[in-house]
Amino acid sequence: MLTDIAAAIASQLRLRPQQVQGALKLLDENNSIPFIAHHRREQTGGLAEEALLRILECREKLGELESRKDAVLRSIREQGKLTPELEEAVGNAGQLRVVEDIYLAFRPARNTAAALAIDRGLEPLADLILEGRPGGALEDWAANFIRHEREVHTTEDALSGAGHIVAERFSANGRIRQKARDLVWSQGILRCTRGPIPESQVKEFRDYYTFSEPVKNLPAHRVLAVNRGERRKALKVALELPPDLLLGYCRELVIPPGHPWAALLERCLRDALDRLVLPAISREVRRELSERAEDHAVDVFANNVRGILMTPPVRGLRVLAVDPGFRTGCKVAALDAQGQLLGETIVYPHEPQCRWDEAKTALVELVQKHSIDVVAIGNGTGCHETEKLVAEIIAAHNLTITYTFVSEAGITTYAASTLGHEEFPNLDPALRATVSVGRRLQDPLSEFVRVDPRVIGVGLYQHDSDQRRLKQRLDAVVQSCVNRIGVDVNTAHVALLENVAGFNSTLARQLIAYREQVGPFKSREDLRKVPGLDEHVFCQCAGFLKVAGSAQPLDATRIHPDHYGLAEELVRLFGCSAADLTRPEGLPALRPKLEGLSLEKMAQRLGVGIPTLSHVLYCLEHPQADPRDQNPPPIFKREMIRLEDLRPGMWLKGAVRNVVDFGAFVDIGVKEDGLVHISQFSTRYIKNPMDYLHVGQTVDVRILSVDKDRRRIALSMIPQEQAGAGKPAPPAAGPGPTEPPASAGPAPAEPPAPPPSQGTPAPSRDAP
């Protein structure tokens, strides 16, 4: 059975059956996806975490399909209508809709016009009409079925009831339904009209009142926008086909040439298509469109969350965290390089207090007293007004500090949570939030794992997606990032530990309790002493929990204890010592010796697979490597710019805040994020923006246009000479008169959809 499932999944995902079978075996043994992806590569042929997640999803869907097949066969068998041919057809069905098409003819009767006609004894007349039995006029045959006690008073009543039965049989014809399905997908048009809600209540949907687009061309974000408008009753939505197109294709399927009552059968066929088939297929197609769009929205959100979590930490700097506010003031906290609180205050520079000079004095005192290196400004309400305050003190006092923006997404939830209270029991929730702002700059991953990733707000209509699947996917992304980077077992908090492979919240708290009671862990072997951490859990987590200062230097790397023997043999083979692993530069003699070396021959010599050998060699060469350091750091500023300062043609440096189907939102240091449409990414064709940009990436962008009334900024990453304007390319680096520095400022909670095909704006984004 495992082989059959593996073959089916492999075919669907275009993988080798051996890879899928190895993955399923490991998953059935309760191994975690990070553990399999990093430390059991041979068994899966090197499958990455994303592929393993897809395998799990496919197995779940195949399980649902098999369960439905069993239910359908059981129902047909109970009716005494199951034949070997029918059983084979159901068994061979590869999609749920095929199973449902087969079952349609055997579904128990409901309260339909056809079912009522059958109760009135008109089914034999329907059989006669379908057979085209010769002899006599149809009205004469129908007269034989007049039964006043059954409310069949005339031949018209009899023929009408028989016609409903014929129409329902036509609608259950699998070939007709498949033809309708094919035509809707290939030639169907999704059309929107105005709904019953007054326009004043749903003005953001007015551009969809006359919208239409071929089904085959509908992008995910537009499907979600239309669905939202329909849910709010701002739009009426329908799928349409060209008139009589489907009728022309289906006529020959059910009406034999020369049939004596072909005209009646055609009327029944038209009724079946208009009343039964097309509405059902339209619902099915729209459901599939929505599922695809939601799946895509989940993928977009997951990719963007990964980009945020993999933002490089800012190490070794003292931070002044500022949580902006108007009426309640700006909360300020000074943190040392390890994130420990040094001092705090509240200043009131904005309305209604307007104590601007007093706030400047207080900030300067904190900066000088605690030797602050950088100011982290939360990107909530009042952030750009607070930016002006910080920029003024830098300029007025010639301070050497810089500032940057930090996302506040979900920060108040964390501050009021049980976890926040446990970590800072003596702090006010507002001050907890401020401390978290600073720590999000110092170590984004460590802080963002404390909140539900759904509140980070870098998705595409994420609130319209299946929340259960969204949470599962985002949780998997968080776990992937945590395990890819690794966790210091002696400093990690519970939110980090519970995302380590094999761990849960209970075990994470047990480890922390043991650490507090016994003291720091001195080796990975000490993990076995934690209550509840059995051999299976140790195997899952050991390669991801690092122990700095252990007598075994490999304990501080991402090498699993299962591969210590291999690592030590490689160290000896290359003439190094284990102590070399503790050096920041790693094994300096390793790289030259690897040049020109055949991994295949070495793997054969050592009796290991190439994936494992490659992983161990990389960890030996870069024992202290942090994957986040490959990504660009945050953008730091010393002065601010305004929307009014922007001019077309200016080049700025910006931070990607959100990536969606139609482009990317880039923070260039003003209050509004600019949009780089996908057509402005490059002169070459870009199919998927996520393949080109990721959240947190630093990019050079050119101002295309500024709409000051609507406060919209259009950006481009294409040099003007490549765009045909003959202007110079972007500057190499550094601010200048035409290229002011930009901040990593606020990201939209959810971007507005791009305009529909007519070029008009689409519904606005969700509120933060």
Quick one: pLDDT at residue 586? 59
- Whether residue 458 contacts residue 304, with contact meaning beta carbons closer than 8 Å, is answered with yes
Portions of the chain given CATH number 3.30.420.140: 319-442
Residues composing the chain:
768
Residue the block writes with tokens 């010796």? 593
Helices (H), 188-277: 220-231, 245-254, 262-271
Distances (CA, A) of 265 to 106, 125, 140, 169, 271: 22, 13, 17, 11, 10
Closest residue by Cα to residue 127 from 146, 145, 154: 145
Tokens of 480: 């992937």
The residue among 237 and 657 whose pLDDT is bigger is 237
Report the share of the chain in percent with pLDDT over 90: 64
CATH superfamily of 2-106: RuvA domain 2-like (1.10.10.650)
Residue 188, helix vs strand vs coil: coil
Quick one: pLDDT at residue 752? 37
- Whether residue 451 contacts residue 414, with contact meaning beta carbons closer than 8 Å, is answered with yes
Quick one: pLDDT at residue 733? 33
Phi-psi region for residue 410, left (φ > 0), alpha (ψ -120 to 50) or beta? left
- Grade residue 643 by pLDDT with cuts at 50, 70 and 90: confident
Residue the block writes with tokens 């108007």? 326
How many other C-beta atoms lie within 10 A of the C-beta of residue 593?
A: 13
665-689 residue pLDDT tens: 998 888 788 999 999 999 888 888 8
pLDDT tops 50 at residue 321: yes
Return the H-helix or E-strand segment holding 302.
Answer: helix 278-309
Spatial separation of the C-alpha atoms in residues 41 and 33, rounded to whole Å:
11
- Whether residue 339 contacts residue 438, with contact meaning beta carbons closer than 8 Å, is answered with yes
Report the share of the chain in percent with pLDDT over 70: 91
- Grade residue 278 by pLDDT with cuts at 50, 70 and 90: very high
Quick one: pLDDT at residue 768? 27
Spatial separation of the C-alpha atoms in residues 165 and 729, rounded to whole Å:
71
Question: Which residue type does 488 have?
Answer: D
Mean pLDDT over 107-136 rounds to: 86
Spatial separation of the C-alpha atoms in residues 560 and 554, rounded to whole Å:
9
Quick one: pLDDT at residue 734? 32
Phi, psi of 153 (to 5 degrees): -95, -25
DSSP-derived pairing of the beta strands 330-335 and 698-707: unpaired
CATH class of 631-768: mainly beta
Residues ≥6 apart with Cβ < 8 Å to 629:
312
User: Between vectors from CA 644 to CA 639 and to CA 646, what angle results, nearest 5°?
Assistant: 75
Mean pLDDT over 715-736 rounds to: 57
Return the H-helix or E-strand segment holding 513.
Answer: helix 505-518
Which of 431-445, 477-491, 584-598 bottoms out in mean pLDDT, i.e. has the lowest?
584-598
Quick one: pLDDT at residue 589? 62
pLDDT tops 80 at residue 153: yes
Phi, psi of 742 (to 5 degrees): -120, 160
Tokens of 31: 């191994």
40-91 residue pLDDT tens: 999 999 999 999 999 999 999 999 999 999 999 999 999 999 999 999 999 9
Mean pLDDT over 635-640 rounds to: 89
166-175 residue pLDDT tens: 999 999 999 9
Residues ≥6 apart with Cβ < 8 Å to 482:
445, 449, 496, 499, 500, 544
DSSP-derived pairing of the beta strands 374-378 and 319-323: parallel
pLDDT tops 80 at residue 162: yes
Portions of the chain given CATH number 1.10.150.310: 482-629
Mean pLDDT over 311-324 rounds to: 96
Closest residue by Cα to residue 14 from 54, 71, 67, 65: 54
Q: Which fold has domain 319-442?
A: Nucleotidyltransferase; domain 5 (3.30.420)
Closest residue by Cα to residue 53 from 437, 456, 477: 477
Portions of the chain given CATH number 1.10.10.650: 2-106
Question: Which residue type does 68 have?
Answer: R
pLDDT tops 70 at residue 100: yes
Spatial separation of the C-alpha atoms in residues 446 and 423, rounded to whole Å:
13
pLDDT tops 70 at residue 457: no
- Whether residue 415 contacts residue 422, with contact meaning beta carbons closer than 8 Å, is answered with no
pLDDT tops 70 at residue 194: yes
Closest residue by Cα to residue 350 from 385, 387, 388, 396: 385
Mean pLDDT over 457-476 rounds to: 80
Residues ≥6 apart with Cβ < 8 Å to 529:
514, 518
Tokens of 526: 């000490």
Residues ≥6 apart with Cβ < 8 Å to 627:
310, 484, 485
Return the H-helix or E-strand segment holding 700.
Answer: strand 698-707
Please report how many Cα atoms fall inside a 13 Å half-sphere around the Cα of residue 451, on the Cβ side.
25
- Whether residue 625 contacts residue 595, with contact meaning beta carbons closer than 8 Å, is answered with no
- Whether residue 642 contacts residue 670, with contact meaning beta carbons closer than 8 Å, is answered with yes
Spatial separation of the C-alpha atoms in residues 560 and 39, rounded to whole Å:
7
Q: 524-552 b/e with 16+ CB inside 10 Å = b?
A: bebbeebeebeeebbbbbbbbbbbeebeb
Q: What is the mean pLDDT of the chain?
A: 87
Task: Kindly tell me the sign of the dihedral angle through the C-alpha atoms of 408, 409, 415, 419.
Answer: negative
Portions of the chain given CATH number 2.40.50.140: 631-768
pLDDT tops 60 at residue 268: yes
Closest residue by Cα to residue 286 from 224, 244, 241: 224
Spatial separation of the C-alpha atoms in residues 152 and 160, rounded to whole Å:
10
**Residue 674: beta bridge partners?**
666
Quick one: pLDDT at residue 584? 63
287-308 residue pLDDT tens: 999 999 999 888 888 988 998 8
Quick one: pLDDT at residue 741? 29
pLDDT tops 80 at residue 746: no
**Residue 545: beta bridge partners?**
487
Mean pLDDT over 364-368 rounds to: 97
Q: What is the 3-state secondary structure (H, E, C) of 607-661?
A: CCCHHHHHHHHHHHHCCCCCHHHHCCCCCCECCCCCHHHCCCCCEEEEEEEEEEC
Quick one: pLDDT at residue 730? 42
Quick one: pLDDT at residue 300? 85
- Grade residue 764 by pLDDT with cuts at 50, 70 and 90: very low
Spatial separation of the C-alpha atoms in residues 139 and 134, rounded to whole Å:
13
Closest residue by Cα to residue 404 from 698, 108, 94: 698
Spatial separation of the C-alpha atoms in residues 159 and 141, rounded to whole Å:
10
DSSP for 240-258 reads: E--TTHHHHHHHHHHS-TT
Q: Which fold has domain 482-629?
A: DNA polymerase; domain 1 (1.10.150)
**Residue 680: beta bridge partners?**
none
Quick one: pLDDT at residue 745? 36
